[in-house]
């Protein structure tokens, strides 16, 4: 539009210069210099056409100027809105960076406190006991939930049995009423006819009791737990690795003194993703002494997986994850000198060797 306005401005400028050079009395000169009235009228009509075209061109130029000013105002408003939004986003980003830095300083302070005490055998044993307490608490929560589910199922079965018994009593009462009506009818018929030997009345038959299994759930709590355990066990040797990196410590290897590794240590780039090896529910996601930023997944059937020394946890307790979901980022919290992931698999609360469960890296 700016190029169009510039072109119109140039044309109007040329016309104004031509009018200025011709003078303000060009029509009067033309009238006095003409001797032929026909030519005079024709020239005057030409002048009228020329002036009308100039006025129209001026009107188009003025309208283009107005449109350009309106468009310029809209652009200015839009630019101001974008600048305000950009300022808001920059402020939010600055706040996020500030929060992350404060969190890193807090973790660094805790890690520095751990490193100052040194990696003594007693400290490792304390860290192991602290982790075991977390696992035992999760186990108790799971057993309590299972007991509550079994109690609910027993109460549901008892309620259904009571309803079935009420239906049976109602059906028996209806049958007795029908038998009484039949007896009254037979007595009335006996009064109108000679007495005859009455056939023995058939014994009353109790109505069929509805099958309890029709409304019962497909699986009990024990069946569901067994199925979930079988599903996890069926993936042995097929689970994906929780992080991409170099395996530096194996299950059972000596860590220090009589303390051995209960899982795997995988050196990986700081900030790289830690992924769930199997679907499950987040049971723990917080800082724990000796483990740093720790996340524990419950896969059901007595199986759990642990991910320690993370920099950032991406999931909250109670969330459900699918296999391969990003759950944390590799770090060195909990006293680690280099970025690494510590990974465990536990069955019924006891650590098992993760290597037979994992597929090819």
Q: Which long-range contacts (CB under 8 A, 24 or more apart) does 137-141 make?
A: 138/283, 138/284, 138/296, 138/298, 138/304, 139/348, 139/349, 141/283
Residue 52 lies in a domain: yes
Residue 348 lies in a domain: yes
- Is 28 in a helix, a strand, or coil? helix
> Pick from 86, 105, 131: which residue ends a domain?
86
- The rounded distance, in Å, linking the Cα atoms of 288 and 308 is 9
Question: What pLDDT, on a 0 to 100 scale, did the predictor assign at position 332?
Answer: 94
Q: Please report, in tens digits, the pLDDT of each residue of the chain (361 residues total).
A: 666 666 666 776 766 666 665 554 455 555 555 556 676 677 677 777 777 877 787 787 778 788 888 888 888 899 999 999 899 999 988 888 888 888 888 888 777 766 655 557 778 888 888 899 999 888 887 777 777 777 888 888 888 888 888 888 888 888 888 888 888 888 877 776 555 544 444 544 444 433 333 333 333 465 445 446 668 888 999 999 999 999 999 999 988 877 899 999 999 999 999 999 999 889 999 999 889 999 999 898 889 999 999 999 999 998 899 999 999 999 999 888 899 999 999 999 999 999 999 998 7
Residue 134 lies in a domain: no
Question: What pLDDT, on a 0 to 100 scale, did the predictor assign at position 214?
Answer: 32
Residue 57 lies in a domain: yes
> Pick from 23, 58, 86: which residue ends a domain?
86
- What CATH number should be reported for the domain holding residue 282? 2.70.70.10
CB 309 within 8 A of CB 333: yes
Contacting residues for 188 by C-beta, under 8 A, at least 6 apart = none
Residue 185 lies in a domain: no
Residue 269 lies in a domain: yes
Residue 72 lies in a domain: yes
Strands 264-267 and 246-249, sheet pairing: antiparallel
Residue among 342, 181, 192 at smallest CA distance from 267: 342
Q: How far is CA 120 from CA 44, 107, 114, 127, 261, in A?
A: 112, 20, 11, 11, 15
Which range of residues forms the domain containing residue 23?
2-86
H/E stretch holding 321: strand 320-321
Question: What pLDDT, on a 0 to 100 scale, did the predictor assign at position 241?
Answer: 97
Question: What pLDDT, on a 0 to 100 scale, did the predictor assign at position 300?
Answer: 84
Residue 131 lies in a domain: no
Measured from the Cβ of residue 355, the count of other Cβ atoms closer than 10 Å reads: 14
CB 157 within 8 A of CB 221: no
Strands 280-288 and 340-347, sheet pairing: unpaired
| Dihedral, CA of residue 347, residue 349, residue 351 and residue 355, to nearest 10 | 30
> Pick from 39, 59, 86: which residue ends a domain?
86
Question: What pLDDT, on a 0 to 100 scale, did the predictor assign at position 34?
Answer: 55
- For the chain, the domain total comes to 2
- The rounded distance, in Å, linking the Cα atoms of 361 and 356 is 12
Residue among 346, 308, 305, 287 at smallest CA distance from 110: 287
Residue among 184, 177, 175, 165 at smallest CA distance from 204: 175
């Amino acid at each position: 539009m700016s190029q169009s306005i510039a072109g119109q401005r140039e044309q109007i400028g040329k016309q104004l210069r031509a009018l200025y050079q011709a003078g303000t009395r060009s029509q009067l000169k033309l009238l006095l210099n003409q001797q032929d009235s026909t030519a005079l009228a024709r020239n005057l009509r030409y002048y009228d056409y020329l002036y009308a075209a100039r006025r129209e061109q001026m009107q188009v130029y003025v309208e283009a100027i107005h449109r350009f000013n309106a468009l310029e105002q809209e652009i200015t408003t839009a630019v101001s809105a974008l600048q305000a939004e950009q300022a808001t986003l920059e402020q939010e980003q600055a706040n996020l960076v500030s929060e992350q830095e404060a969190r890193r300083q807090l973790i660094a302070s805790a890690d520095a406190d751990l490193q100052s005490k040194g990696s003594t055998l007693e400290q490792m044993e304390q860290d192991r006991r602290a982790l075991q307490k977390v696992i035992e608490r999760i186990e108790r929560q799971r057993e309590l939930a299972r007991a509550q589910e079994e109690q609910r199922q027993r109460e549901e079965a008892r309620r259904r049995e009571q309803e079935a018994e009420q239906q049976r009593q109602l059906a028996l009462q209806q049958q007795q009423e029908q038998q009484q009506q039949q007896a009254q009818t037979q007595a009335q018929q006996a009064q109108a006819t000679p007495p005859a030997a009455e056939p023995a009345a058939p014994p009353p038959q109790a109505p069929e009791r509805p099958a309890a299994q029709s409304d019962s759930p497909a699986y009990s709590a024990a069946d569901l737990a067994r199925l979930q355990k079988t599903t996890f066990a069926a993936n042995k040797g097929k689970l994906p690795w929780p992080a991409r990196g170099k395996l530096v410590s194996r299950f059972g290897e000596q860590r220090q003194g009589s303390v051995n590794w209960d899982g795997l240590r995988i050196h990986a780039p700081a900030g790289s993703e830690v992924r769930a090896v199997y679907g499950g529910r987040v049971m723990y996601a917080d800082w724990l002494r000796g483990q740093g930023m720790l996340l524990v997944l419950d896969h059901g059937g007595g199986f759990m997986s642990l991910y320690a020394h993370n920099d950032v946890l991406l999931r909250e307790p109670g969330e459900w994850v699918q296999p391969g979901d990003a759950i944390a980022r590799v770090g060195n919290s909990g006293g680690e000198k280099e970025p690494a992931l510590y990974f465990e698999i536990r069955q019924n609360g006891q650590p098992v060797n993760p290597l037979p469960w994992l597929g090819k890296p």
